[in-house]
Structure 1
Amino acid sequence: MEWQYIKYFLKVAEYEHMTKASQELSITQPALSRSISKLEEELRVPLFIRENKRIKLNKYGRMFREHAFSIQKEMEIAKKNIEEQLHPNQGEISIGFFHTLGINKLPSLLAGFKAKYPKTTFKLKQANKTILIDSLYNGDLDFCFTTLTGEELGRNYKSIDLWEKNFFLTVSNHHKLTSSPEVSIEELANEEFVILKQGYGIRSITDKIFEELPFKPKISFEGEEIDTIAGLISSNLGISFLPKLEGNKYIKQIDLPSLHYKRVVGVIYNQTDLVSPISQKFLNEIIRTFRSEEQL
């Protein structure tokens, strides 16, 4: 079976129209039709239902399409791996990260690496933890920066802790609790909490804290950006449990010894698939950069 047949099949399956597919592939429509016919002869089954000028996949076509996608992906990986071995100081690195990492830490890391290896390209994805982990396991990401809890690792995947931050009760500077010499858990019973939505790494830790409280927390808002949560707290519209926030002069973060939680941030990668020289160099750069920051 020729690889070209599979490429042609996937394009016809995408458009469900021979003429449109042939235009996209830059071949004649008769040549495309002959290729599809030869593929069907080789498989000994029809793959399409033909209705006038339009065609659509039948049950065999839908079945074959799943395998064809896998073959196409493997071909792309093979070509990429060969290219990267021939040119070890260049290549594409796909990275997933949570929102606040894009403010300073990640751009600084990428800029430093790009200065050393200028022919490197980055494919970036910013999302919550659930989406990032799914993308990593689907093979769409080489590296995933996220909150680590120990529950997210799959087979052949490895994580490296990069830094950690304690969680604090976070309130507005104008909140009544700021005047208390010592805040008790019971004082929070009538407060409204503003927190991140499910799927975010910080939310998973917040839920664990909530489980320890002797009351059911009143949640008034669930958001997607930690800056929004901090803004609502600054305006005295709720309180929350958050890691240390730098540079916000409108909030106060209070340590509650009875609720001692940390956010561990790290990177996850597939140690089996991490074969390209440039990816290995980037992993070393991650470790060197963040481990040196810890020592400052």
Structure 2
Amino acid sequence: MNLKQLYYFLDLAETEHYTNSSERLSISQPTLSHAIALLEHELGVLLFEKQGRNIRLTKYGKIFLPYVQNALGELQKGKMTLENLIDPHSGIIELAFIYTMGASFVPEMVGQFSGREEQRQVRFNFYQGTTHNVLQKVTDESCELAICSYVPDHPEISFIPVYKEELVLITAKNHPLARFDQVDLEQTLPYPYVFFSKSSGLYPLIHDTLKALHIHPKMACIVEEDLAMAGLVSINYGIAIIPKIKALATFDVKILKITNKIPARMIYLAYLKNHYMSPAALAFKNFLTRYKKLTIH
């Protein structure tokens, strides 16, 4: 049994005439007759019987018909769903991003992309998490694109830099360091840190930076994301090195510029190498790589 046989059966059930169906299907009448005969042989029943010059469904044909209609209807729905998903002008983009990108960068990029006339019908499905989490979404193909930190042990993933953030030190407003506007990280040695967990893309950057400066901080606690870190710092649970994100303005913390020469936090667009990407996702990827915001924020 194959799809052609089912489509032929469905059309013949509608016309009840071999000649009319063969013309509608653009095939010869013997080809149609042979296909129906093979289908009947496989099912072990006659699906049609003669009625004068025409034919009609047998009892068994009438029983089989709704199943064929439902099956072919579902296949058509699936085809239409796929067509909609891969339409560059009305498809769906599965986008994962790390927590800090959800406050401004992602909404700004999505807003500008969706504001263009040719992309107004494109929809997004979003997922937030740590760099480890969002890269897992890319590798298991739940998301086509991710905005996150760079991770070196993912040779199957391409990373394109698209955004850069300044790292700052934050303290509670009543912390001894809060009287300064800038700080050398050596001044932080007496104070415990709220530190990012190893699943965060920021962990290796901050860990390696402090190690290069021969600074081995005391740990107050470990967290996964920036807002939890800012909240704990605001109650003087510790100090922290964190990207200078807009959300910090909503917390009762002091933001200090770091005077040491330390690298900025780079944000990347990540996607699977040599892998099919839907036209809508490809359009957003090209938009982001053209737009790159690599000045310090």
TM range (shorter): 0.5 to 0.7
Report the AA paired with residue 253 of structure 2: Y
Report the AA paired with residue 144 of structure 2: D
Aligned length: 220
Q: Structure 1, residues 181-214: CA drift from partner, whole Å, max 9, x if none? A: 9755443332111122221112222221342353
**Structure 2 partner of 1:250:** 253
Q: Structure 1, residues 13-70: CA drift from partner, whole Å, max 9, x if none? A: xxxxxxxxxxxxxxxxxxxxxxxxxxxxxxxxxxxxxxxxxxxxxxxxxxxxxxxxxx
**Structure 2 partner of 1:140:** 142
Alignment of 1:190-269 (within 5 A): 190-214=190-214, 216-246=216-246, 248=249, 250-257=253-260, 259-269=261-271
CA distance in 2, matches of 1:87, 1:228: 39
Aligned with residue 288 of structure 2, among 274, 286, 289: 286
TM-score (norm 2): 0.62
CA distance in 1, matches of 2:182, 2:270: 39
**Structure 2 partner of 1:58:** none
- Work out whether residues 200 and 225 of structure 2, in 8 Å CA contact, stay in contact via their aligned partners in 1: no
Report the AA paired with residue 229 of structure 2: I
Tell me the CA shift for residue 133 of structure 1: 1.2
Q: Structure 1, residues 213-234: CA drift from partner, whole Å, max 9, x if none? A: 5353211121233112112223
Q: CA 1:2/1:133 → structure 2, altered by over 3 Å: closer, same or farther?
A: farther
CA distance in 2, matches of 1:204, 1:217: 14
- Work out whether residues 193 and 219 of structure 1, in 8 Å CA contact, stay in contact via their aligned partners in 2: yes
TM-score (norm 1): 0.62
Q: CA 1:264/1:79 → structure 2, altered by over 3 Å: closer, same or farther?
A: farther
Gaps of 5+ in 2: 4-74
Report the AA paired with residue 144 of structure 1: A
- Work out whether residues 145 and 268 of structure 1, in 8 Å CA contact, stay in contact via their aligned partners in 2: yes
Q: Which runs of 4+ in 1 moved over 6 A?
A: none
Gaps of 5+ in 1: 4-74
Q: Which moved more, 1:195-204 or 1:108-117?
A: 108-117
Q: Which moved more, 1:89-98 or 1:178-187?
A: 178-187
Among all aligned residue pairs of Structure 1 and Structure 2, give the percentage whose two residues are the same amino acid. 19
**Structure 1 partner of 2:83:** 83
Secondary structure at the counterpart of residue 148 of structure 1: coil
**Structure 1 partner of 2:122:** 120
Alignment of 1:28-39 (within 5 A): none
- Work out whether residues 81 and 276 of structure 1, in 8 Å CA contact, stay in contact via their aligned partners in 2: no
Tell me the CA shift for residue 179 of structure 1: 3.9
Alignment of 1:89-108 (within 5 A): 89-108=89-108
Q: Structure 1, residues 113-162: CA drift from partner, whole Å, max 9, x if none? A: 3343233222211111111112211222110100125x15423x322211
The root-mean-square deviation of aligned C-alpha atoms, in Å, is 3.5
CA distance in 2, matches of 1:164, 1:295: 5
CA distance in 2, matches of 1:238, 1:111: 36
Q: Structure 1, residues 69-93: CA drift from partner, whole Å, max 9, x if none? A: xxxxxx9xx9699626984422221
**Structure 1 partner of 2:155:** 154
Report the AA paired with residue 236 of structure 1: N
**Structure 2 partner of 1:273:** 275
Q: CA 1:119/1:178 → structure 2, altered by over 3 Å: closer, same or farther?
A: closer
Q: CA 1:227/1:126 → structure 2, altered by over 3 Å: closer, same or farther?
A: same
Tell me the CA shift for residue 279 of structure 1: 1.9
CA distance in 1, matches of 2:200, 2:86: 39
- Work out whether residues 233 and 251 of structure 1, in 8 Å CA contact, stay in contact via their aligned partners in 2: no
Q: CA 1:79/1:197 → structure 2, altered by over 3 Å: closer, same or farther?
A: farther
CA distance in 2, matches of 1:179, 1:203: 27
Alignment of 1:47-58 (within 5 A): none
CA distance in 2, matches of 1:86, 1:225: 33
**Structure 2 partner of 1:131:** 133
CA distance in 1, matches of 2:223, 2:90: 38
CA distance in 1, matches of 2:79, 2:113: 24
